[in-house]
Structure 1
Amino acid sequence: MRKIMNAMAVLLLAKTAVAGAAEVDDRLYRAAIFSNRGEVEALIKKGANANHQQNQRSMLGWAAQSGNVNAVRELLAAGANPNAVDAIGHTPVMRAVETQKKDVVKLLLDSGASTQGADVYGRTLAHLAVETDDPAIVAAVLDAGADFNAKDADGLSPLFKTLQNFGERRNEIVALLAKHGVDLNQGSPYSTPLLFAIENQDAQLLKMLLEAGADPNVANESGRRPLHEAVADLALARQLFKAGADPNITDRFDEPLLFSIMNEGRPDLVEAFLEAGADANRPRSDGQTPLGFARDTGQTDLEALLKRHGAVDGDASPAAPATATIAKLAAQPAGTAPHVPSLPRYAGANAMFEQDAIAIYVTSDPVPAVGEETLRLLEGAGWSGGLVAQNPELRHMRFTRSGWTLEVQVSLARGLGNQTSIQYSLLPQR
């Protein structure tokens, strides 16, 4: 009986001790958030656990989030883990940064808190720092060695998060990142910092990025470059050319961008491209040269401009774009090769230029209606294929039949009084 009584007494004492420890730890939780100097230290001496977790967060995490510098200092002195993570992957210094507790941020970083790691959303200390719109916090995290080129779960860099935030001190933070050597070309899967500046018509940001060394030729994952977005703005285009943008890039159809500019009826933009080094003789995939295009579309001012920048006759003549194709057509047995002028086309469209392998027609009807009817007509004539790309001002189609490829582009021709241009180009199938 006595043995049983002794065992019960020991068990009771143990339960009392556990309850006492739990009470002390609970008091430590409150002290971490609200205490004055010395309270945390006193509770530690009474047996409180400096690494105790409450609601899946460490005492240091709670103290850091609340900005309790005294509690943070006393917990660190008692051996609290400065890198303990909470339920969403935040360390104490991440909590301090997120709540903009500058003194705690400095204390934790000076005490060796890690700048590495990410939360469950892929956000690093660097991402959290830029979201504060506070250059002082960003500078502290930069100086501590955090990786400002890391991507979060959405593929966004800290720099791009800075741009997206549109904070009052955004440009100040961008300048700070540039000064510390952060990659100014890191953006997101769908954009780059320069593309972002152009899309948002932010001339000051664009100037800052270019002067800091951002590359004007870096594309996003779909191949879009800054010049593609600035192509209708003469001032932006010149700014990009001054920074080294390549004027010989291609458009989304892999054709020289110069042709898109010419199609807009903007001699000033064409001249800017040519002055920046655009090749005045580089042909499209169908063989047509810039000079040939200018002649076919009746843009005599562009003809003169192109010639001043080295465009030459010969291959640039109206007959040249289809020369190789016509030769192959001539070599075919009679009746086996398609003849572009005989192909079905939009009713009421007027011919501007016709050859065996290339033709251009114009109509005043809108692009969508012309494109839809052209597609229907060619499919009805036995051509296999369809739309390759489209937008409100363009329908690009590709068809094949009997060893031949027919490219059809229906587009808004601003240089022709906003008429709709229908271009047929015939090529031997590869």
Structure 2
Amino acid sequence: MGMAAPMSAASLEERLHRAAEKGDAATVRTLLAQGARVDARNPAKATPLLVATRHNHVDAAHALIQAGADVNAKDAIEDSPYLYAGARGHLEILRATLAAGADLKSTNRYGGTALIPAAERGHAEAVAMLIAAGVDVDHVNNLQWTALLEAILLSDGGPRHVQIVRQLIAARADVNLPDGEGRTPLQHARQRGYRQIEALLLAAGARPG
């Protein structure tokens, strides 16, 4: 009986992507041990770690990071495991990417850091983690918005976003930094009737006009 042909690298890596998508950490480890490249790209240029991160598969993500996966590797639309975990509030994976050398200055396709979409989407725990890690709270994205502006402009003004505004103020975000049209966070909060946010901004030194 002839010996079985060795599995091709391409086949190993396709299986690695499928295992990452399913969250099968044991198979991820097995395939890596068999020689699958930890940062192999799929047709969308995503790595297995980004695939696992998109599905919030914590164990599979940990297995890949422990094997040296690049937490900053971007796909075709400029998502990386670190940026995606921050934007989606996937806290365990975000924590692991930060520990593994996440580039705090890296930006998404909108020119924003991980902090900006985290603030917009109301992920207060992720915001706290990113602030503590040292992400620039006053970074301005391609839309000329900061995390503070997005927490007001693109929110419902509810408790999660009030908490995020409070966190950003505590981190010394510039409460008077305007958008590209010269409108300040306070003006946007007033326009939307977000009274709690307005009060926080005024207490932090926002100029009324």
Does residue 237 of the first structure (1) align with residue 165 of the second (2)? yes
**Structure 1 residues 219 and 85, CA gap change in structure 2 (3 angstroms):** farther
**1:178, CA displacement in angstroms?**
1.9
Q: Structure 2 counterpart of 1:134, which letter? A: H
Q: Structure 2 counterpart of 1:260, which letter? A: Q
The answer to whether the Cα contact below 8 Å between 2:47 and 2:75 also exists between their aligned partners in 1 is: yes
- Alignment-derived partner of residue 39 in structure 2: 116
Does residue 84 of the first structure (1) align with residue 7 of the second (2)? no
Does residue 47 of the first structure (1) align with residue 2 of the second (2)? yes
Does residue 202 of the first structure (1) align with residue 126 of the second (2)? no
Q: SS of the residue aligned with 2:42?
A: coil
The answer to whether the Cα contact below 8 Å between 2:82 and 2:98 also exists between their aligned partners in 1 is: no
The answer to whether the Cα contact below 8 Å between 1:217 and 1:245 also exists between their aligned partners in 2 is: yes
Report which of the two structures shows the higher radius of gyration computed on alpha carbons: 1
- Alignment-derived partner of residue 271 in structure 1: 202
- Alignment-derived partner of residue 25 in structure 2: 102
> How far apart, in 2, do the equivalents of 1:110 and 1:180 lie?
20
> How far apart, in 2, do the equivalents of 1:211 and 1:124 lie?
27
**1:142, CA displacement in angstroms?**
0.8
**1:271, CA displacement in angstroms?**
2.6
Deviation string, structure 1 residues 109-135 (Cα, Å, up to 9, x no partner): 234432233111121122122234232
Q: SS of the residue aligned with 1:216?
A: coil
- Alignment-derived partner of residue 64 in structure 2: 141
**1:258, CA displacement in angstroms?**
6.5
**1:163, CA displacement in angstroms?**
5.4
> How far apart, in 1, do the equivalents of 2:189 and 2:57 lie?
46
The answer to whether the Cα contact below 8 Å between 1:250 and 1:257 also exists between their aligned partners in 2 is: yes
Structure 2, unpaired ranges of 5+: none
> How far apart, in 1, do the equivalents of 2:79 and 2:138 lie?
19
**Structure 1 residues 120 and 210, CA gap change in structure 2 (3 angstroms):** same
Q: SS of the residue aligned with 1:239?
A: helix
> How far apart, in 2, do the equivalents of 1:246 and 1:164 lie?
21
Report how many aligned residue pairs link the two structures.
197
> How far apart, in 2, do the equivalents of 1:239 and 1:249 lie?
16
Among candidates 28, 51, 73, match of residue 150 of structure 1 = 73
Structural RMSD (CA): 3.3
Q: SS of the residue aligned with 1:217?
A: coil
Share of identical aligned residues, percent?
30
> How far apart, in 2, do the equivalents of 1:225 and 1:171 lie?
22
- 1:13-412 superposed matches below 5 A: 46-47=1-2, 49-50=4-5, 79-81=6-8, 83-85=9-11, 90-162=13-85, 170-184=90-104, 186=106, 188-190=108-110, 192-231=113-152, 235-253=163-181, 255=182, 257=184, 260=187, 264=191, 268-274=199-205, 293=209
More strand by share: 1
Structure 1, unpaired ranges of 5+: 1-45, 51-78, 281-289, 294-430
> How far apart, in 1, do the equivalents of 2:7 and 2:95 lie?
36
> How far apart, in 1, do the equivalents of 2:47 and 2:72 lie?
10
Q: SS of the residue aligned with 1:123?
A: coil
The answer to whether the Cα contact below 8 Å between 1:227 and 1:237 also exists between their aligned partners in 2 is: yes
Higher relative contact order (CA 8 A, sep 6+): 2
**1:149, CA displacement in angstroms?**
0.8
Deviation string, structure 1 residues 317-354 (Cα, Å, up to 9, x no partner): xxxxxxxxxxxxxxxxxxxxxxxxxxxxxxxxxxxxxx
Bigger Cα displacement from structure 2, 98-107 vs 147-156: 98-107
TM-score, L = length of structure 1: 0.39
> How far apart, in 2, do the equivalents of 1:115 and 1:260 lie?
48
**Structure 1 residues 84 and 252, CA gap change in structure 2 (3 angstroms):** same
